[in-house]
């Protein structure tokens, strides 16, 4: 589709964000510069119609949590060919964890990012499980970053079900499938009746594998399907952590290792719950982000590096001129709320620009990155809004 008519207003399709068996997701914008995502379910297929009603029902039941994608509304799209399709109008999110994993260094992600993602998704799961739901398809592609809310959010509830009332035969994705779900899928494939169904514990298993991939920097699909993993996953986790021990202090690493181990216990009744996992000492340790992660995670705050010499900072008149020049330049790309150039460490000589929204900061980053000022190449990264508001300027890990 080129256009969607949503609640009497025309929205333009800007791009297709993804396509599945029974639905496609599009980025759309209205004349008022609003942006959103539309999930359009295929017409005339039982899977499409069922998938729409199922996901709509789950999303309407669980709205209001900051780590779960927001459903704005539902509508029916009527194409010029006379075909009607059911659609969900959803919050537009940013980069997926799947994309972040593809861009990760061979040493994996920083402890800051792993902790941020783990806490956000555990908060989402704790809420979901309290409401009686199982997500049943937790994987990096279904974890997305929200620039405006500065957190990770859970999406795609097409396989979700109420615990004790599993209405989906096949759940979870290869590489992130819990042992009990693997067994159930095999029985269903053989045409055998499955008693009881899976529990919320399957989501914890998936998250454990996701966190291990973030730490190791490698996809573990073949590893988790191997006989060695099934015989002794704890030994493999120990091996992965032993190889990466030099990256950061031992105690936080041990806490993360133990947290992951508690999530991938073979027996689902012995697996930790989301609420118990949030009590892990891993979440009490402060970490700093890596510079490359701040390039990839949009926020309303932009940080410009490699721009200002100490000489300009020490001279009051030159400092004021630079403040004025930077504000004038940055306002070309959007509405600037505040601008800060620290004259001392931390953050000495770096320019922090707070925009009214992340759309403006993303456009500014796109246009400023790699430009030259005074013969210097500008490095433009994003910066956590919450840290900036508290006046906390990280000593960034290079």
Question: pLDDT per residue over 50-65, tens digit each?
Answer: 889 999 999 999 999 9
**Dihedral pair phi/psi, residue 305, rounded to 5°:** -115, 160
Percentage, residues of the chain above pLDDT 70 = 95
Query: Is the distance from CB of 89 to CB of 77 less than 8 angstroms?
Result: no
Determine the pLDDT at residue 309.
83
Residue 17 has pLDDT above 70, yes or no: yes
Q: Give the integer Cα–Cα distance in Å for 387 and 97.
A: 22
| Mean pLDDT across 195-209 | 93
Query: Quick one: which of 310, 348, 313, 355 has its CA closest to 334?
Result: 355
Detail the residues annotated as belonging to a binding site.
Answer: 39
394/384 Cα distance (integer angstroms): 10
Please state the pTM of the whole predicted model. 0.91
- CATH match of 3-90 with 1.10.1200.30: no
Calpha distance 397→161 (Å, rounded): 41
What are the boundaries of each domain within the chain? 3-90, 95-289, 298-390
The answer to whether residues 155 and 191 touch, using CB atoms and an 8 Å cutoff, is no
- Do 294 and 381 meet the contact criterion of CB atoms below 8 Å apart? yes
| Of the listed ranges 31-35, 80-84, 141-145, the one predicted with least confidence | 31-35
Q: Which of 61, 94, 120, 324 is catalytic?
A: 120
Binding-site entries for ATP: 39
| 300 close to 364: Cβ distance less than 8 angstroms | no
CB 53 within 8 A of CB 94: no
Architecture of domain 298-390: 2-Layer Sandwich (3.30)
Whether 256 shows a pLDDT value over 90: the answer reads: yes
Euclidean distance between CA atoms 283 and 275, whole angstroms: 12
Q: Pick the catalytic residue: 44, 61, 94, 137?
A: 137
Query: Residue 27 — very low, low, confident or very high, per pLDDT cuts 50/70/90?
Result: very high
Is 94 tagged catalytic?
A: no
Q: pLDDT of 333-363, one tens digit each?
A: 999 999 999 998 888 889 999 999 998 999 9
10 Å Cβ neighbour count for 333?
A: 19
Spatial distance between the Cα atoms of 350 and 255, rounded to a whole number of angstroms:
34
Write the pLDDT tens digit of every residue in 270-291. 999 999 999 999 999 988 888 8
Closest by CA position to 282, among listed 215, 333, 224: 215
Checking if the pLDDT of 398 tops 60, the result is: no
Residue 269 DSSP class: G
Closest of 387, 96, 129 to residue 276, by C-alpha = 129
Band (43; pLDDT cuts 50, 70, 90): confident
Q: For the residues 155-162, what does the mean pLDDT come to?
A: 95
Q: What is the chain's percent helix, strand, coil content, to nearest 5?
A: 40, 20, 35
Backbone angles phi, psi at 285, to 5 degrees: -100, 130
Please state, as a whole number, how many other Cβ atoms lie within 10 Å of the Cβ of residue 289: 22
Residue that has been written with the tokens 């333009």 in this structure:
12
Tokens of residue 21, six digits: 């068996």
- DSSP H helices, 158-200, are 179-189
What is the CB-side half-sphere exposure of residue 242 using CA atoms within 13 A?
6
174 tagged catalytic = no
φ, ψ dihedrals at 391, nearest 5°: 75, 20
Banded model confidence at residue 32, pLDDT cuts 50, 70, 90: low
Helices 201-216 and 227-243, packing angle to 10 deg: 40
Please give the pLDDT value at position 202: 98
Q: Is the domain covering 95-289 a CATH 1.10.510.10 domain?
A: yes
């Amino acid at each position: 589709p080129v256009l969607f008519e949503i609640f009497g207003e025309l929205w333009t399709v800007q791009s297709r964000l993804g396509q599945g068996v029974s639905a496609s997701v599009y980025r759309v914008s209205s004349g008022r510069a609003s942006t959103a995502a539309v999930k359009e379910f295929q017409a005339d297929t039982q899977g499409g119609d069922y998938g729409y009603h199922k996901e709509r029902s789950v999303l309407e039941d669980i709205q209001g949590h900051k780590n779960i994608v927001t459903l704005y509304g539902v509508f029916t799209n009527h194409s010029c060919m006379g075909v009607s399709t059911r659609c969900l109008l959803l919050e537009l999110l940013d980069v997926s964890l799947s994309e972040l994993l593809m861009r990760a260094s061979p040493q994996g992600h920083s402890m800051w990012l792993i902790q941020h993602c783990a806490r956000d998704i555990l908060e989402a799961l704790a809420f979901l499980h309290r409401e009686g739901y199982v997500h049943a398809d937790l994987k990096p592609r279904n974890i997305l970053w929200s620039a405006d809310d500065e957190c990770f959010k859970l999406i795609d509830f097409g396989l979700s079900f109420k615990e004790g009332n599993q209405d989906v035969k096949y759940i979870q994705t290869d590489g992130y499938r819990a042992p009990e779900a693997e067994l159930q899928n095999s029985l269903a494939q053989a045409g055998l009746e499955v008693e009881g169904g899976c529990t919320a514990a399957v989501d914890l298993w998936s998250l454990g594998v996701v966190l291990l991939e973030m730490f190791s920097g490698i996809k573990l699909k073949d590893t988790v399907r191997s006989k060695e993993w099934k015989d002794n996953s704890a030994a493999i986790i120990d091996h992965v952590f032993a190889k990466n021990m030099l990256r950061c202090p031992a105690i936080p690493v041990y806490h993360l290792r133990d947290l992951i181990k508690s999530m991938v216990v073979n027996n689902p009744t012995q697996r930790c719950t989301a609420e118990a996992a949030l009590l892990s000492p891993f979440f009490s340790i402060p970490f700093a982000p890596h510079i490359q992660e701040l390039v990839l995670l949009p926020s309303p705050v932009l940080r410009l590096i490699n721009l200002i010499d100490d000489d300009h900072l020490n001279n009051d008149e030159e400092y004021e001129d630079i403040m004025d020049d930077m504000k004038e330049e940055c306002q070309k790309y959007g509405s600037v709320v505040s601008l800060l150039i620290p004259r001392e460490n931390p953050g000495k000589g770096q320019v922090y620009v707070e925009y009214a929204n992340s759309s403006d900061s993303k456009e500014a980053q796109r246009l400023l990155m790699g430009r030259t000022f005074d013969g210097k190449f500008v490095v433009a990264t994003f910066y956590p809004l919450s840290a900036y508001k508290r006046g906390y300027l990280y000593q960034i890990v290079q």
